[in-house]
């Protein structure tokens, strides 16, 4: 099995329908109607209804332990597919809404990470992620909370949500604060909005990675700039095809980005929503073993884990 690594996967977006049902039952909660389609898959039809569906699956969560179980279950499955490292996007907005403190939430996540490490050898880390459409004030408050209670597994800061809302520059104070305090930074851009969104992100935010960024392929000058700066794209082809950005994998720009010299990684984003897994992304990328091994190495190099951890992981995947 080719060793794999992943740096773009959303915590609640990794919950398979079966686990959502189990968690809801355990918590005595009733899941919202129409969460699933007739086949038992998550029901959504476009990017915005996907974001809505994402919010609705979160209603299965109630206790800190639920977050432990979600990250543990994802890491266990990824390890079975050959993953040695996963960086998970985790939003403190969800636990806060449930009255779970930031510390108890992180302790629960760390427990899941430690259990998965002990049982499967996989290394997990956390990126704290703000939600773009909730605005810059919430983002800055989130960074302040992250700085007030540092945790060794929290290695970075990022932003997801509705890319059409606000502009990267609005979030510059939050990002500056995270970056100046040593956190690696990434941002979703160039997914539902075109290259101008990626230009703005690399101009206004201290990011070394872009979440998705695939729409950069529409602009040769942007691809050249990304290659020149060594900016890494967290590419999620299955997600992009499922959300209708491209009609199929054959028209996805992954290969064009690689040909232009852009550093890319392969990721699953919200795997059960998009009927994919990290293993499927590697299998369906249309790349040979050498190229896939190079992608796994780029993923570790671009990760926000400390240098010693990155060195150990690189030795593990290419001894």
Q: Which residues bind ligand ADE (CB under 6 A)?
A: 10, 13, 54, 160-161, 188, 191, 239, 269-270
Q: What, of Zn ion, ligand ADE, none, does residue 69 touch, CB below 5 to 8 Å by kind?
A: none
191 belongs to the binding site for Zn ion (CB under 5 A): no
Q: Could you say which of 140, 191, 234, 281 is catalytic?
A: 191
What does the buried/exposed string (b/e) look like for 210-232 if buried means 16 or more CB atoms within 10 Å of the residue's CB?
bbbbbbbbebeebbebbeeeebb
Give, in order, the Cα–Cα distances in Å from 127 to each of 27, 155, 280. 27, 6, 23
Q: Which residue has the tokens 């994402």?
A: 54
Looking at 60-68, 128-136, 269-277, 307-315, which segment touches Zn ion (CB under 5 A)? 269-277
> Do 15 and 268 meet the contact criterion of CB atoms below 8 Å apart?
no
Shortest reach from residue 191's CB to Zn ion, in Å: 8
Q: What is the largest CA-CA distance in the chain?
A: 54
Shortest reach from residue 8's CB to ligand ADE, in Å: 9
| Half-sphere exposure for 311 (CA within 13 Å, toward CB) | 3
* Torsion from C-alpha of 10, 11, 13, 17, nearest 10 degrees: 160
Shortest reach from residue 23's CB to Zn ion, in Å: 21
Site size toward Zn ion (CB under 5 A) is 1
Cβ proximity to Zn ion, 254 vs 317, nearer residue: 254
Cβ proximity to ligand ADE, 3 vs 268, nearer residue: 268
Shortest reach from residue 161's CB to ligand ADE, in Å: 5
Q: Which of 12, 81, 269, 281 binds Zn ion (CB under 5 A)?
A: 269
Q: Edge to edge, what strands does the sheet with 123-131 contain?
A: 4-10, 83-90, 123-131, 154-160, 184-189, 209-212, 232-235, 263-266
Cβ proximity to ligand ADE, 131 vs 313, nearer residue: 131
> Do 132 and 162 meet the contact criterion of CB atoms below 8 Å apart?
yes
| Half-sphere exposure for 153 (CA within 13 Å, toward CB) | 23
140 belongs to the binding site for Zn ion (CB under 5 A): no
Cβ proximity to ligand ADE, 120 vs 246, nearer residue: 246
Cβ-based neighbour number of residue 299 at 10 Å: 29
User: 13-52: which residues touch Zn ion (CB under 5 A)?
Assistant: none
Cβ proximity to ligand ADE, 42 vs 105, nearer residue: 42
Cβ-based neighbour number of residue 165 at 10 Å: 12
Q: What, of Zn ion, ligand ADE, none, does residue 191 touch, CB below 5 to 8 Å by kind?
A: ligand ADE
Cβ proximity to ligand ADE, 13 vs 279, nearer residue: 13
Alpha-carbon gap, residue 207 to 169, rounded angstroms: 12
Shortest reach from residue 125's CB to ligand ADE, in Å: 18
Shortest reach from residue 121's CB to ligand ADE, in Å: 27
Q: Which residue has the tokens 């671009």?
A: 302
Catalytic residue at 93?
no
Active site residues: 191
Residues at the interface with Zn ion (CB under 5 A)? 269
């Amino acid at each position: 099995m080719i060793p794999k690594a992943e740096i773009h996967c959303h915590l609640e977006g990794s919950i398979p329908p079966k686990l959502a049902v189990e968690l809801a039952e355990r918590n005595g909660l009733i899941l919202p109607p129409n969460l699933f389609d007739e086949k038992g898959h998550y029901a959504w039809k476009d990017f915005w209804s996907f974001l809505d569906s994402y919010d609705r699956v979160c209603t299965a969560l109630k206790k800190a332990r639920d977050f432990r179980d979600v990250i543990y279950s994802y890491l266990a499955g990824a390890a079975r597919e050959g993953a040695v490292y996963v960086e998970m996007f985790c939003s403190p907005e969800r636990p806060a809404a449930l009255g779970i403190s930031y510390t108890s939430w992180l302790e629960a996540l760390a427990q899941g990470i430690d259990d998965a490490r002990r049982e499967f050898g996989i290394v997990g880390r956390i990126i704290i992620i703000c939600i773009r459409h909730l605005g810059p004030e919430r983002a800055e408050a989130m960074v302040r909370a992250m700085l007030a209670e540092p945790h060794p597994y929290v290695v970075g800061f990022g932003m997801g949500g509705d890319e059409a809302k606000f502009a990267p520059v609005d979030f510059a104070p939050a990002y500056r604060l995270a970056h100046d305090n040593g956190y690696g930074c990434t941002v979703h851009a160039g997914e539902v909005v075109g290259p101008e969104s990626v230009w703005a992100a690399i101009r206004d935010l201290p990011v070394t990675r872009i979440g998705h960024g695939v729409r950069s392929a529409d602009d040769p000058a942007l691809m050249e700039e990304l290659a020149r700066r060594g900016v890494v794209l967290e590419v999620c082809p299955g997600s992009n095809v499922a959300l209708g950005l491209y009609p199929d994998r054959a028209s996805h720009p992954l290969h064009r980005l690689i040909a232009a010299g852009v550093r890319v990684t392969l990721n699953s984003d919200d795997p059960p929503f998009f009927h994919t897994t990290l293993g499927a992304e590697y299998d369906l990328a249309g790349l040979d073993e050498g190229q896939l091994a190079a992608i796994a190495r780029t993923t570790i190099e671009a990760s926000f884990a400390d240098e010693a951890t990155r060195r150990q992981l690189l030795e593990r995947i290419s001894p």
